[in-house]
Structure 1
């Protein structure tokens, strides 16, 4: 897809990136990132670090849900930008009901709401595009996005939708993968506001860098996942509280939804307007 077509599809592309989780945080992911410059020298062996991460995995898997605040930043691509998500997230099954705020993507869409809502259910993400944009979609407010649909499509579409599964992130799965990584290591104690934790990091398979802060109760209080896909860097920083919070999430009625990929293909082919 050429640049001119990308501009014509500004609404659709920006909207999908809002829920794509392609965020980056060079200067403001909401906290102090632990590392060699901010954490104390590692005091735990690899075996001890692995044991701590595995124990956190067990607790998280059992909890099945939590309240979350996610800061999502994308860099190195035409879709660069950031968004914040707050709400509740569940895993086993994977669901989420999130308010989207502080979004550079929404800010770039004429007539778009300052904040909106994203729902994830059954492997599909839905975003409320607002009343003004619904006038372009037959009055349907919920854009339906399936990350699997982007496979094999145009390179830009692939980049923009590569992070869609982020909203459906399973923290227990991330911890399980980290525990199995041969590179898992203890960074030392970290502090952010009133949160005190022990930080661990590693590189599971799949081109990811995962960092987890584990609180005194053994639950993760923060997970940072960085993924590089081509020239795109996606960084998701998620803070967790209220483990075990109910996550009763329902997808919007089918008659109130429209398909993102179908809309975008229509726009790109010249059969619609952005």
Structure 2
């Protein structure tokens, strides 16, 4: 593989990996923030009958237990990110769609990503990417065109544990691997955190794609969210959590509105995520079905994969200036 090919593949891979990884972290619960605009079926509306706080707590607790036990579901997700600094962190502005099967405890995924966020600024980027996630390793199918620049290998491999360890930073390794270990939070842990909302309330009945549901909403400030997220406590010390809190507040994020629609079987049918930022609102909508659906993931053959870290190393050996942007 030539240096130019490596550089081009790396640039495409980095953009795609950033967008896909950001989506993966959102849907696995590593980014714990939920809320939404209203997209329920027309005419569903408020039933006019609202449950008491104890009734609401009982319903969300039951939903948490059922979802936690299911361990997997089919999922469809849409993320819309406005242009700006937030988009850079998320891998690109625009819309990202995802559909497939995901599991939690442990985290596994077999989903297909598409949307303008993948191709922003690079028309040659893949129009869609299949993403597999197993044992904290992400595999991305970059397509037949990209395979020409990857020695015929169309799958890009990103081993997050390996990346952390190769950094030589013990703290980074602990934070990354610990964060991955706590990523079995979606959607059950999101429901658990919703229970900590001081203003959790029932909004009434609504139909989602023909399914009768009850709609609930609550709000957590950044501080309340961080205190509710046990995964953060396991990974970060008190001073580190305080610094993270300051950084999030500095970024202009004040809190998280959480909204969930629960069906008659106590499963969440839909959960929406809105993150309000100075650039605008990052909107995420997730719908779930077929709880308990098989979420078996088989990694692609080693001969068809290209390790992202190995690509970086090869780029660094390519000569003067070739490795100047080798950071991911």
Q: TM-score range by the shorter chain?
A: 0.7 to 0.9
| Structure with bigger gyration radius | 2
Aligned to 2:15: 14
**Pick aligned residue for 1:192 from 201, 208, 212:** 208
Aligned to 1:249: 297
Please give the alpha-carbon distance, in whole angstroms, between the structure 1 residues aligned to 2:37 and 2:153: 34
Please give the alpha-carbon distance, in whole angstroms, between the structure 2 residues aligned to 1:248 and 1:173: 21
Is the Cα contact below 8 Å between 1:266 and 1:272 reproduced in 2? no
Is 1:130 the equivalent of 2:143? Answer: yes
Aligned to 2:230: none
**Pick aligned residue for 1:221 from 258, 265, 269:** 269
Aligned to 1:159: none
Please give the alpha-carbon distance, in whole angstroms, between the structure 2 residues aligned to 1:199 and 1:15: 35
Is 1:116 the equivalent of 2:123? Answer: no
Cα distance, 1:140 vs. partner?
Answer: 2.7
Please state whether the residue corresponding to 1:187 is helix, strand or coil. strand
Closer/same/farther in 2, CA of residues 248 and 53 from structure 1, 3 Å limit = same
Show CA shifts across 1:199-254 (max 9, x none).
Answer: 11222614543321101221110011234688685433111111111111123344
Is 1:32 the equivalent of 2:39? Answer: yes
Closer/same/farther in 2, CA of residues 85 and 31 from structure 1, 3 Å limit = farther
Is the Cα contact below 8 Å between 1:127 and 1:142 reproduced in 2? yes
Please state whether the residue corresponding to 2:80 is helix, strand or coil. strand
Q: What is the TM-score of this pair, normalised by structure 2? A: 0.62
Q: Which moved more, 1:193-202 or 1:80-89?
A: 193-202
Cα distance, 1:196 vs. partner?
Answer: 2.6
Structure 2: segments with no counterpart, 5+ residues: 1-7, 27-35, 168-178, 227-254
Closer/same/farther in 2, CA of residues 184 and 71 from structure 1, 3 Å limit = same
Q: Going by fraction, where is helix more abundant, 1 or 2?
A: 2
Is the Cα contact below 8 Å between 1:65 and 1:245 reproduced in 2? yes
Q: What is the TM-score of this pair, normalised by structure 1? A: 0.73
Please give the alpha-carbon distance, in whole angstroms, between the structure 2 residues aligned to 1:229 and 1:254: 40
For the aligned residue pairs, the C-alpha RMSD in angstroms reads 4.1
Please state whether the residue corresponding to 2:322 is helix, strand or coil. coil
Please give the alpha-carbon distance, in whole angstroms, between the structure 2 residues aligned to 1:187 and 1:133: 48
